[in-house]
Structure 1
Amino acid sequence: MYRLAIEKLCKWKTSKRRKPLIIEGARQVGKTWLMKEFGAKSYANTVYINFDSNSTMAELFASDLNTERLLMGLELYTGRQITPDDTLLIFDEVQEVPKALASLKYFCENAPQYHIICAGSLLGLALHEGTSFPVGKVDFLKLYPLSFEEFLMATGNERFAELLGKRDYQMITSFKQTYIDLLKQYYFLGGMPEVVQSFVDEKDFNEARNIQKRILAAYEQDFSKHAPNEIVPKIRMLWNSIPSQLAKENKKFVYGLVREGGRAKDYETALMWLSDCGLVHKISRVNAAGIPLKAYEDLKAFKLFIVDVGLLGCMTGLGQRILLDGNDLFMEFKGALTEQYVCQQLKTLDDLGIYYYTNERGSCEIDFIIDTGEQIVPLEVKAEVNLRAKSLCTYKDKYRPEISIRTSMADYKEEEWLVNLPLYAVDMLKYIIADNTRK
């Protein structure tokens, strides 16, 4: 399996301003595999330490955090020499020993020549609960489930991924049915590495679904194990309401659908917990289209997506035949899966602010609106080949964007003010934006 994040790690390795790196991401998105794979490919030696239930490491980091002393202790524990230039030092499940996180400050200041990468389950919680390490002394990398491009590579369709990268849309259109069939598979399987690897090995959709159920069960166990007791029921109720929220035509999150009479103040902590874990993506509304979009953010109105499209389908019990063969009865939920898919792909693109737009009357809604730092790009999502663009037209007339994008199952087409981008090519958005910026 190949992860595009490897390329980011290679840049981190050679950076003159390299600091210890923390990889953030939901449980089971492949953080441990990524660190070990990077170490095996890019270093002569990899020293891997798992801090989970590790009393020796807890004791080592319990007293002073002198880096020479810590390195000696790590060498004694692993029986391996840790050299600055050719050893990757991996701290896994590092949140279990908070002082190990605190030690990153001293490695940054006093031993910057060492290459250190950290990760852990629910690490986002530890970071946001005030764990003692100073901002500015570490680098961060967010890891998500496999994107559709990575899914193509993992399933033996590297040439199709390569073709998308070349943006030869005439050739891409010639093979559109292959892309559509693979996209339907991705809707069902999603991008959780264990699910994809199982399907690559066994070609069994049922086994893939069983693994998805196990992952969801593990998340539920995390709620009970790691969240404060008083908010566990609220986390569960909020989490389980997401599929029905997305099935609505207006996908704005409504607390009253979590529980009758539910209000924001009842669930704010639960929502923050899920967000810190990396299990949900909160996409806020904006009511205007200026730079920066964050200045126009409406904190009370948002959509909530989960970490992976395959897990969303599993939560709803959506069967493989219905999804892969197509069924009009599920047209509305297919729209929810499509928006979930697009959100998931956008999240893998660096340096984008992602929001959605509605005007004050609610007569115009743009599914996603993207802030690149230099321009605002509206993106409308269609589950099928529907090419009506009433909201985009209304938005265009008011804000005059440099470029507007509609993504659907229709072929690539570039019009005077609008680019129609096939859903299977959403990742190419980064190139379209870059080209438009250079004009």
Structure 2
Amino acid sequence: MVALQRKAYSRFEFWKQHKSKQALLVTGARQVGKTFLIREFMKANYSNVVEINLADDAAARRSFAAAEDADDLMLRISVAASTRLVPRETAIFFDEIQECLSVMRHIKQLVDKGDYDFILSGSLLGVKLEGVDTLPGGYLTQVEMFPLDFEEFCWANGLPQKAWEKARESCLAHVPVVDFIHEQLMKLFHRYLLVGGMPDAVNAFLKSGTIDQVRVVQSEIIRVYKRDIAQYAPKTHRLVIQNIYDLVPSELTGTSKRFKFSSIENVKRFNQVTDEFLWLINADVAIATYNATEPKHPLLISKNDNRFKLFYSDVGLLTSTFIKRASIDLLDGGTSMNIGGVYENAVAQELNSHGFATYYCANKRLGELDFVTERANGDVLVFEVKSGSSYRTHASLTRALNDPGNGISQAFVLAETNVEVYGDVTYLPIYAVAMFHIDD
């Protein structure tokens, strides 16, 4: 596996440089590259490393669970470690921490002593790390990892950083991107729709340059997710959870793209399946974009928990469920198939990984706005996503902007185009969603 450049790495470095008495907790769904990146980080920053996988090492798991206090746990770690513990020089890495949450209870005391650096990694599949929430504040620095975002995908494919920076500068200044950079980014974005950001899938693409091996990897990741549903989800919910996960692609190719609960066998209302949806969302394998009835800050006030669009956490996993022939349309930005849901999945994924909470706005007065979100300063941003050539037609967005009672700060249409500005609407290339960050 190639050491892909990941943004999370700089956050690991920041933790090491600025921590006082804190452990590093790395979370995220399976297969997003947590363990690999932590190993690369430890290799570069520590002369001595201890790694204990709590899913694979049953003996260590039983031993740690029996620890009476922090000193007892430290003794048990020293016994389980395959290398000698050297104070001030050793990183102790607990992988799959959700398999032995009792370790979390002693982290405060262990980091207080300051003898070793502790790194923990956990996937949220089937087990929400509720123990984290009960720890006193200040003893954990949490970094959530996602699939590669589009910028990281561009790095992997050799796009010069200066080209990315030039494009971002143009998009944020609302001026056209230089043609040759724009064309390269559009080409890469269409490939990103097929490959997605799962590291193994990206590496398969970089190695082969074809889609076949990529789809093999993606199919295996989906099988892993389904095995986790079968193993970790509550027994009474497993079949429904898997049914919901399998329905996502067909729901996104529908007209409204909103998940219809009636699509689930014997289900008519959301309260019948609330726990099942939350399991997928908390496991980080699905992203929910909830309905907000008004495009006003704070959006949370008008949030409707019972209506939402459900996306896969990785757009490549979504497109891997389609027949391979559909890849022709995705590669060329064609419109002979309904690819609007694919574009929306990519947008939801990008905004989610950049810290935005995503909503869609739907009411009888306005119609529907694809994505409504807000920056850290409260500015409300609207993104309409257009996969076809008629991207300047957007009746709902026009009505929303013409209503002075709405609180929209900026309105964007993401489409197969370069940057254009007409009135209050800025038209951006679809890849430009990757250039928005919540703190900008």
TM-score normalised according to structure 1 size: 0.89
Kept in 1: contact 2:380–2:407 (CA 8 A):
no
Q: Structure 1 80/261 Cα, relative in aligned 2: closer, same or farther at 3 Å?
A: closer
Alignment counterpart, residue 245 of structure 1, candidates 251, 274, 282: 251
Deviation of 1:206 (Å): 0.5
- Provide the secondary structure at the position in 1 that maps to 2:294: coil
* 2:296 counterpart of 1:290: yes
* 2:102 counterpart of 1:102: no
For 1:261-297, what per-residue CA distance to the aligned partner results, in whole angstroms no more than 9, with x for missing partners?
Answer: 5322332121111112111111111112333211211
Kept in 1: contact 2:167–2:177 (CA 8 A):
no
Q: Structure 1 419/112 Cα, relative in aligned 2: closer, same or farther at 3 Å?
A: farther
Counterpart residue number, 1:189 = 195
In 1, Cα distance between equivalents of 2:89 and 2:394: 55
For 1:60-119, what per-residue CA distance to the aligned partner results, in whole angstroms no more than 9, with x for missing partners?
Answer: 3233454344334323432434455443321101222221232223334x3356422211
Kept in 2: contact 1:144–1:348 (CA 8 A):
yes
Kept in 2: contact 1:95–1:101 (CA 8 A):
no
For 1:176-226, what per-residue CA distance to the aligned partner results, in whole angstroms no more than 9, with x for missing partners?
Answer: 222222111111111110000011112221111111111111111111111
For 1:344-395, what per-residue CA distance to the aligned partner results, in whole angstroms no more than 9, with x for missing partners?
Answer: 1101113x22211112x16421111112232111111111341223222211
Kept in 2: contact 1:20–1:107 (CA 8 A):
no
Aligned residue identity for 1:21: L
Kept in 2: contact 1:402–1:417 (CA 8 A):
no
Matches within 5 A, 1:248-259: 248-259=254-265
Q: Structure 1 131/5 Cα, relative in aligned 2: closer, same or farther at 3 Å?
A: closer
Alignment counterpart, residue 421 of structure 1, candidates 421, 428, 431: 428
Matches within 5 A, 1:144-163: 144-159=146-161, 160-163=163-166
Counterpart residue number, 1:397 = 402
Matches within 5 A, 1:309-320: 309-319=315-325, 320=327
Deviation of 1:135 (Å): 5.4
Matches within 5 A, 1:158-177: 158-159=160-161, 160-167=163-170, 170-177=176-183
In 2, Cα distance between equivalents of 1:32 and 1:186: 23
In 2, Cα distance between equivalents of 1:402 and 1:132: 34
* 2:17 counterpart of 1:10: no
More helix by share: 1
* 2:273 counterpart of 1:267: yes
- Provide the secondary structure at the position in 2 that maps to 1:278: coil
In 2, Cα distance between equivalents of 1:46 and 1:170: 49
Deviation of 1:42 (Å): 3.1
Deviates more, 1:272-281 or 1:116-125: 116-125
Deviates more, 1:417-426 or 1:341-350: 417-426
* 2:134 counterpart of 1:142: no
In 2, Cα distance between equivalents of 1:184 and 1:122: 29
Kept in 2: contact 1:65–1:106 (CA 8 A):
no
Kept in 2: contact 1:286–1:357 (CA 8 A):
yes
Q: Structure 1 276/347 Cα, relative in aligned 2: closer, same or farther at 3 Å?
A: same
Counterpart residue number, 2:74 = 71
In 2, Cα distance between equivalents of 1:123 and 1:252: 24
Percentage of pairs with the same residue: 26
In 2, Cα distance between equivalents of 1:312 and 1:123: 18
Q: Structure 1 92/303 Cα, relative in aligned 2: closer, same or farther at 3 Å?
A: same
Kept in 1: contact 2:354–2:436 (CA 8 A):
no
Kept in 2: contact 1:26–1:144 (CA 8 A):
yes
Counterpart residue number, 1:437 = none
Q: Structure 1 238/341 Cα, relative in aligned 2: closer, same or farther at 3 Å?
A: same
Segments of structure 1 that go 5 or more residues without pairing to the other structure are 435-439
Q: Structure 1 43/124 Cα, relative in aligned 2: closer, same or farther at 3 Å?
A: farther
Q: Structure 1 392/300 Cα, relative in aligned 2: closer, same or farther at 3 Å?
A: same
Q: Structure 1 295/161 Cα, relative in aligned 2: closer, same or farther at 3 Å?
A: same
Aligned pair count reads: 427
In 2, Cα distance between equivalents of 1:45 and 1:414: 55
Q: Structure 1 280/101 Cα, relative in aligned 2: closer, same or farther at 3 Å?
A: same
In 1, Cα distance between equivalents of 2:106 and 2:241: 32
In 2, Cα distance between equivalents of 1:412 and 1:87: 50
Alignment counterpart, residue 184 of structure 2, candidates 178, 183, 198: 178
TM-score normalised according to structure 2 size: 0.89
Q: Structure 1 200/256 Cα, relative in aligned 2: closer, same or farther at 3 Å?
A: same
Deviation of 1:245 (Å): 1.1
* 2:379 counterpart of 1:378: no
In 2, Cα distance between equivalents of 1:177 and 1:254: 37
In 2, Cα distance between equivalents of 1:35 and 1:293: 36
Aligned residue identity for 2:233: A
Matches within 5 A, 1:19-30: 19-30=22-33
In 1, Cα distance between equivalents of 2:70 and 2:217: 41
- Provide the secondary structure at the position in 2 that maps to 1:405: strand
Counterpart residue number, 2:121 = 119
Deviation of 1:25 (Å): 1.1
- Provide the secondary structure at the position in 2 that maps to 1:47: strand
Q: Structure 1 292/363 Cα, relative in aligned 2: closer, same or farther at 3 Å?
A: closer
In 2, Cα distance between equivalents of 1:165 and 1:394: 29
Deviation of 1:157 (Å): 2.2
Counterpart residue number, 2:352 = 347
Q: Structure 1 65/421 Cα, relative in aligned 2: closer, same or farther at 3 Å?
A: farther
In 1, Cα distance between equivalents of 2:398 and 2:235: 49
Deviation of 1:146 (Å): 0.5
Segments of structure 2 that go 5 or more residues without pairing to the other structure are none
Kept in 2: contact 1:67–1:107 (CA 8 A):
yes
Counterpart residue number, 1:277 = 283
